[in-house]
Amino acid sequence: MDVVVCVKRVPDASGMDALVIDASRKDIERRTLVAKINDWDEYALEAAAQLKEKAGVSLTAVTVGPDEWDDVLRRALAMGADRAIRVDEDMLAADCHAVSTVLAALVRTLPHDLVLFGAQSEDFGSGQLGVMVAEMLGIPHAALVVSLEVGEGSVRVDRELEAGALESYAIELPALLTIQTGVNRPRYISVGGIRRAMKKDLQIMSVSELGLTAEMLAPQAVLERLETPPRGKEAELISGPPEETAERLVGILRNAGIL
Amino acid sequence: MYELRFDATTCLSCETNDCLTRCQYMDIDRETAKAEITKIANGEDSFVLHDCVTCYACEEYCPMGNHPFYLIVERQEELDIPPLPRPLIKRGIQTGIPFRGEPEITEATEPALCMGVFSDLMYLIQGKLFEGLSVISMDPRKMFHYFCQLMYLHYARTSVIKERLPGITETIAKHGAREIVFFHDECYGTYTSYCPAVGIDVPFESVHLFEYLYNRLNELNDDIRPLNIKVAYQRPCSSRLSPDKHHFVQDIFDLIGAHSVEREYVDENALCCGGTIQGQRREGSRLRAADVQKRNLEDMVNAGAEVCVFNCPACYNTLAGPVSREGIRPMYMSDLCRLAIGENPAGRR
Amino acid sequence: MDSIYDSLVEIVGSEHVSTQPEELYIYSFDLGTTEPHRPDYAVAPRTTGEIQQIVRLANREKVPVVPLGGGLSLAGLAVPLKGGIALDLKRMDTIIEVNERARYAVVECGVSQGQLTSYLERRHPRLMHSEPGAPPQATIAGNVAIHGQGDLAQPYGFNSDMVNGLEVVLPTGEVCRFGSCSISPYWYTQHPLPDVGLFLGWAGTTGIITRVSIKLFPCKEILGAGQFVVEDEELIPELVHRITHTEMAHDLVAFSQAIPPFSSGLHHLTISLSADSEKELDFKMELIFDDTLGEYIRRGDGGFLGFTRGQQRPQVSKTSDWRKGGGFEYVGSIMPVETYPECYRRGREISERHDIPYTVLGRVIGMSHAMMFSWTYAFNRADPETVRQAREALHESDDLVLELGGTIWKPGVYGQKLVMERMDPNTLNLMKKVKQLLDPNGIMNPGNWEVGR
Amino acid sequence: MTLADYKYADMIHRCFRCGYCKFPVNWMDVNSCPAYARFRMETYSCGGRLWLTRAWLSDEIEWTEHLAQILYTCTACKNCEEKCPLSFNVDILNMIVAAKAEMVERGLVPSAVKEFLENIERHGNPYGTARARRGEWTEGSEIEQYQGQEFLYYVGCVGSYDTRAQETARTLGRVLTRSGVSFGVLGSEENCDGNEVNTLGEEALFEMLAEDNVRKFKELGVTRVVALSPHSYNAMKNEYPRFDGTFTSFHYTQLLRDLIIGEKLDVSGGFSASVTYHDPCFLGRWNGEYEAPRRVLRSIPGVELVEMEKNRAGALCCGGGGGNFYTDFLGGSESSPARTRVREASATGASVLAVACPNCMTMLEDAVKAEGLEDSLAVKDVAEIVAAACGTA
């Protein structure tokens, strides 16, 4: 079975107090931030790696981005991917349609029984990409998958709905799933593992090799500007001995009708 | 086989017969001494063979360069007059049997220091004084491959020494050092006195630890802060085999500002630690050893010693407890030297 | 869900119950050659009340309960042979009382030997208890429950003879006290009440000891040991008889072992002495080493190796590393002292037949009334063949004990069978009745001392 | 990896599980292995961990989250090494670290450990706070950036980011300034020392950090490092030499001792309190330094130094080592080592519990609160006591 996982590189903003919007007002200040693999994609990769451990799966990890994006693919290789392909194109400013066009074109060139995406990205978080690619490929999909089990020619999945309700499907392969966090426990990738992955081949392609032209990648949605949300007005810091603070908190929650 | 070089005729011409007349454990006049040593030389029984506490001292007393002590031991064995009970002899002989595999022969650089069977005392050869020495016999599990065997002089078993020693010298020589400092002066005595006396080849030069320490201290002269303490030296039986190196004790003391106290039992009159005597077969040996220790200790106390300086680990084991109970601090010579150059002595483990 | 698990959690709290594979793995092992058996639950209670509830639960559910102290019997006595609850008692670790004047200590069942020794050293330096040769995590209660002996065995006998009182949770859950503590706040004597002592030597099959009062003895300023060596094993019974006659030693042990070579074929007698002054020490030394042993020295048959001050803590766990294999087990026996020579010779033969360096030891109990004689066999945990050899040697040693007219000390299942085969049928029947009376559901450490139907 | 490839394959079965590893030096209880003291199941003793490791590597048991937790509750405090009577005792902790390393290689570490390691890799500290903010602790102080001064003052992650430990770091800076010591810090240029990473078994990450630090120190011409944390001191003194780190490392208590002896630091202002000192594992058992901090404390007029029953080589670990100050596998109970330790401190009657390690500081201060001892026992760093005595507090 052939599994393709699409991954993305995102800035890690967890270490800062607040994000800073840059001068263009169309992006955040990235220079002080380190990059990492998109959280959701790590779960997708782990799901794929677990499939590979169970059965004879060939695993390919793909991404679209400039050369520093190689590091997320190295990570995928360290997690067990057999192949890694990067389409060399900086699409940070591009819209979801453009990116999904590239990814769909790439996946089409690869054998694929199962295509996995993270359910959304940590930076722009549109949650559209996987679904759009599925549509372009013309294969069935399920979004926000919280468990999956591959059978003969099909995959059984649970999707997460509101308030923790689950929806179960059997989907025929080939299919595309977008993976929710919590579906598994992504393994730790050791620095040694990544170093060993440095020795593995990483394939680079251009958009033109995929037969794509600039018109085909023209944006359908344009980002106008980024803004930080207005500060909330009511924040109350409760301090004091635990017995008292707990009591006050309970009172507040009761009054708000939460308890 | 190896034969002891002993010339009985020199004893006949000896004017003092110091070997026996100076013995601190037997009261013997000159006439008796000459008669008894001649009897012993001739292979006859003598009360000396029965009463000897095996303190080695007659090796030093002999003015003729003969080997009265080695002779006594050979005769004790030949005539089956063991100074110790049989189980102790068997135990002693078995102690020297290596049983944990072959030693690893590492290339030694010059100079090398051989720990002999005291590999677990490596903590005593730390610090500047020993920097740069390559060490032979570092592994307590393999140390009996480096055992000089001379302890068997106390056991009336020169046969064991002669049987095992050539193999031991060979093992030490394999390390390739030309000059070897011996941690224990019994090893030093073995290679510089006993081996020549019985004709065993020694393919290396031996250096006495105290000579080495003396020279090292001179190199580190700038670091020496005079200790200004009163010391008594517990001279071990083995040092009787290298009386020419005994002066280094005082030389070192002078160099590091340690003051030897005025004692009765000092230098040639030094008393045995009692470790060997206490187990001997002769009636009353345990109490005799206790008496020797008591006299030795009283002498140190009366002389006002603050530190009792040791050369031999066996003496240390026997006497460190008793001297501490008298308020005197027991210390190995190397530790005393380390103290003098501002290092922390390794102390007692 | 597992209702027994839930009940156990309710009794001791979730942190002190486990059904996880890791705990079940660890608690399935003895440190010796006994095959592991997994418990179904590992539980670590803190109070007698909790133990009561656990035992009642076990009765309701018919689940075995296997009490465990230090886990160092090496005979497999705390291996859950039939599964059930492995009851780790080491959280019950309070030293409840030391009565300086009446010389006793009351301890909870998880108090270790090392803990009591250290406690006495720090707070009651004039008192000591009889510490066995086991590693210090061995417990006081576990040791008396198997009739252990310690380093005061020569003057005062078995540690189980030093029990002044017990608190026991019966297999049916009642708490009973025995000795003066059953009627008085003092835990100072087991006597003179009607004797219902049914808990010592039963290896936890008749109840769980939760508290023990143990006798303490004078601890003198100077402790130390002299060593005496002989080659002829036939001399040992005679020497022991003569030394015990002096009433001067506080521990007397003879040993011989192949490794290190110095001890091979020789018998070392370690004679421990204690004294409050140099005068007392000199007197005792003279009496033993000169007046009593002097003639052996003069004849050349025995040698004095010197006297070392200070008391060595048990170093027995080093035995496990003789074959660099992390394991050893021994057969302990209670023998007449006169059998020492035969025990040594036959033990040496067994060892040599199984290619194990021999190690034998005899510790005198009482005034030469008996000795604990042990044959120790080291094995390599990573090499099943050596484990098998050791197990065979152990079984042969068990057989030998009975052949020589001795009794096996803390026998494992194999030894228990040998003992029961030889036991007077009426005694055996009484044991059976006692067991049925106390433990009608057979939940306590089943597989041990099973008299059969 | 199978058992056969494990570095200690020929040794790990040699543990007999005699239980010495659980005792303190004076045998007063069986509570000196922090993990065993916390959980009191045989699995959590050093011997239990060794047997489980062997069982795991030889496929007798499978990996579980619980197994990983049991291994990662080890704080690398070395109490077991101190007590184990067998000849291979020098390797018993290494055996556990090697087992952790295998879990790291297989990616099978508990989530908290994963987070800890990933944060250090990305941000140079376990908290996941940005590197850019590492120097914020110096704000408002006169502490200078390192530029060739005699000493590099290396603060470490806890001192740089933990609010309470930052105070200590600044206080020590003031004391050093007052003594006329020429020193500077790296601020936001400082990277994690890697000591915990090493004990967690992430060898390659440790290598990366050590190489990075050694390279940086060399570029800056650093010859002497004084560390706030014994963890940093340990890594730099014992591990960095194999990465060609040739500078001399000190723990700050050693420097303070020398300054006081050399009369460069005047502590005559005194500090009136009964003080008990808690030995940090990485200063004490790991590096044998028991006396420097005691010497410093004793030299301060008014300090009455009282010892806990478990001290020096027998000291009970605060439970923070091996990353546990962050991963907190030992927390949440009155048997947590930190809480046990503050009860022991309180039992001495001392009003001040002196520490010489920022990890111990955070662990023990939290424990004092949990035990409700705030009114009777204050946790203070040795540097803070010195600062009070020389009037720079």
Given D53, D76, D109, which residue is the final one in a domain?
D109
Point out the domain boundary residue: B209, B240, B262. B209
What CA–CA distance (Å, rounded) separates C397 from C346? 9
On whether both B188 and B229 belong to a single domain, the answer is no
For residue D118, being part of any structural domain is answered with: no
CA distances from D291 to D185, D274, D283, D298 (A): 26, 18, 10, 10
Q: In Å, how far is D20's CA from the nearest CA of chain A?
A: 34
Q: Which of residues 263-322 of B touch C (CB under 8 A)?
A: 275, 278-279, 281-287, 318, 321
Domain chopping of chain C, boundaries: 3-88, 95-218, 222-309, 316-417
The CATH number of residue A73's host domain is 3.40.50.620
Q: Which domain holds residue A60?
A: 2-217
Nearest CA to B17 out of B73, B75, B72, B58 is that of B58
The DSSP letter of residue D291 is H
What is the average per-residue pLDDT within B238-257? 97
- Cβ of D107 within 8 Å of Cβ of A189? The answer is yes
Mean pLDDT across chain A, nearest whole number? 92
Over chain D (393 residues), what is each successive 10-residue block's mean pLDDT? Answer: 88 94 84 94 97 97 97 97 92 97 96 96 94 93 95 98 96 96 97 98 97 97 97 98 95 97 95 98 97 97 97 96 97 96 98 98 97 97 97 85
Assign C324 a pLDDT band (cuts: 50, 70, 90).
confident
Among A22-36, A73-87, C139-153, C231-245, where is mean pLDDT lowest?
A22-36
Residues B317 and B227 in one domain: yes
**Does B302 fall in a domain?**
yes
In a domain, A247, yes or no: no
Which residue blocks in chain A are alpha helix, DSSP H?
A: 39-54, 70-79, 96-108, 129-137, 191-197, 242-255
User: Can you list the alpha helix ranges (DSSP code H) found in C371-423?
Assistant: 384-403, 413-422
Number of Cβ pairs closer than 8 Å across A and D? 55
Which of D237, D258, D279 finishes a domain?
D258
Q: What is the DSSP code (8-state) at residue A186?
A: P
Q: Residue B324: which residues within 8 A CB-CB, separation 6 or more?
A: B330
Mean pLDDT of chain C: 95
Integer angstrom CA distances of residue D316 from A188, D80, D338: 31, 11, 9
Among candidates D122, D131, D207 on the partner chain, residue whose Cβ is nearest the Cβ of A36: D122
Number of H helices, E strands in chain C: 13, 19
- Residue A256 is assigned to a structural domain of this protein: no
pLDDT tens, residue by residue, C5-38? 999 999 999 999 999 999 999 999 999 999 999 9
Regarding whether D240 and D140 lie in a shared domain, the answer is yes
Q: Which residues of C touch B94 (CB under 8 A)?
A: 261-266
For residues C347-351, average pLDDT: 97
- pLDDT confidence of residue C1: 58
CATH number for the domain spanning B335: value is: 3.40.50.1860
The whole-chain average pLDDT of chain B stands at 95
Q: Using a CB–CB cutoff of 8 Å, tell me whether C230 touches chain B.
A: yes
Question: What's the pLDDT score for residue B349?
Answer: 45
| Residue D20 contacts C where some CB pair is shorter than 8 Å | yes
* The most confident of A120-129, A155-164, B336-345, C205-214, by mean pLDDT: C205-214
Tens of pLDDT along C79-103? 999 999 999 999 999 999 999 999 9
**D78's tokens:** 């070395």
| Residue B348 pLDDT greater than 60, yes or no | no
Tens of pLDDT, residues B142-190 = 999 999 999 999 999 999 999 999 999 999 999 999 999 999 999 999 9
Same domain, D232 and D312: no
> Which CATH number does the domain housing residue D320 bear?
3.40.50
Name every residue whose Cβ is closer than 8 Å to that of residue D213 and which is 6 or more positions away in sequence. Answer: D191, D193, D194, D236, D240, D245
The whole-number pLDDT of residue D97 equals 97
**Domain residue limits at B238:** 213-340
Same domain, B129 and B248: no
- Whether B and A touch, i.e. at least 3 CB pairs below 8 A, reads as no
Answer whether C222-309 and C316-417 agree in fold. yes
Asked if residue A233 is part of any domain, the answer here is no
Instruction: Check: pTM over 0.90? Answer yes or no.
Output: yes
Level-2 CATH architecture, domain C316-417: 2-Layer Sandwich (3.30)
CATH code assigned to C222-309: 3.30.70.260
Q: Is the pLDDT of residue C452 over 80?
A: no
Give the pair of three-digit tokens for residue C242. Answer: 């003569």
Strand pairing partners for C41? C85
Between the alpha carbon of residue C13 and those of residues B3, B44, B265, C7, D112, the distances in Å are: 81, 85, 72, 9, 24
Is D117 among the domain residues? no
CA–CA min distance A249, chain D (Å): 21
Phi, psi of A223 (to 5 degrees): -75, 125
Taking the Cβ of residue C182 and every Cβ of chain B, the question of whether any pair is shorter than 8 Å is answered with no
Q: Does the residue D114 lie in any domain?
A: no
Q: Does domain C3-88 have CATH number 3.30.43.10?
A: yes
Under an 8 A CB cutoff, do D60 and C25 touch? yes
Tell me which of A20-29, C225-234, C359-368 is least confident.
A20-29
User: Closest approach of chain D CAs to the CA of A54, in angstroms?
Assistant: 16
Domain count, chain D: 3
Structure confidence at residue C317 (pLDDT): 75
D297 and D364 co-located in one domain:
yes
What is the identity of the amino acid at D289?
A: E
Is there a domain that residue D166 lies in?
yes
Q: Which residue has the tokens 């998880």?
A: C110
Any B CB within 8 A of C261 CB: yes
> Any chain B CB within 8 A of the CB of C224?
no
Residues of B in Cβ contact (< 8 Å) with C264: 94
Q: Is D5 inside a domain boundary?
A: no
Question: Residue B309 burial (CB < 10 Å; 0-12/13-18/19+)?
Answer: buried
pLDDT of residue D213: 98
Q: Which residue of B275, B281, B321 is in closest CB contact with C297?
A: B281
Residue B314: band (very low, low, confident or very high) from pLDDT cuts 50, 70, 90 = very high
Q: Does residue D246 sit in the same domain as residue D155?
A: yes
Task: State how many domains chain A has.
Answer: 1
User: Within this chain, do residues B225 and B312 fall inside the same structural domain, yes or no?
Assistant: yes
Q: Is the dihedral of CA D168, D174, D179, D184 positive or negative?
A: positive
D228 and D277 both lie in a single domain? no
Q: Measured between CB atoms, does C279 come within 8 Å of chain B? A: no
Does B252 fall in a domain?
yes
pLDDT at A30: 84
Structure tokens at B259: 């003051």
- Matching residue, tokens 């433990």: C439
- Contacts for C351 with CB less than 8 Å, ≥ 6 apart: C258, C357, C358, C359, C375, C377, C393
Radius of gyration over every alpha carbon of chain C, rounded to an integer in angstroms:
22
- State mean pLDDT over C134-140: 93
Q: D touches which chains (3+ CB pairs under 8 A)? A: A, C
User: C286: distance to nearest CA of chain B, Å?
Assistant: 8
Helix or strand run (H / E) with residue C237: helix C235-246
Q: What is the spatial distance between Cα A246 and Cα A240, in angstroms, rounded to a whole number?
A: 9
In a domain, B90, yes or no: no
Closest CA to D196 of D327, D105, D22: D327
Asked whether C212 and C144 are in contact (CB, 8 A), the reply is: yes
In whole angstroms, what is the distance from residue D370 CA to residue A234 CA?
31
Which pLDDT score, from 0 to 100, does residue A235 have?
77
CB-based touch D/C (3+ pairs, under 8 A):
yes
- Domain of residue D307 covers 264-389
Q: Is the pLDDT of residue C353 over 90?
A: yes
**Identity of the residue in D109, D129, D131 whose CB atom sits nearest the CB atom of A188:** D109
Least CA distance to C291: which residue of chain B?
B284
D36 interface with C at CB cutoff 8 Å: no
Instruction: State the nearest Cα–Cα gap between C91 and chain D, in angstroms.
Output: 7
Q: Identify the DSSP state of C289.
A: I
Confidence (pLDDT) at D162: 96
Q: For residue C319, what pLDDT is reported?
A: 83
Q: Both D100 and D61 in a single domain?
A: yes
Q: Which of D217, D236, D258 is the last residue of a domain?
A: D258
- In this structure, are B200 and B218 located in the same domain? no
- CATH code of C95-218, in short, is 3.30.465.10
Separation in Å, CA of C112 to nearest CA in chain B: 27
Boundary of a domain, candidates B78, B103, B131:
B78
Distance CA(A227)–CA(D191), nearest Å, equals: 33
Q: What is this model's ipTM? A: 0.91
My answer on whether B154 and B270 are in the same domain is no
Q: Check whether residue D25 and residue D91 sit in a common domain.
A: yes
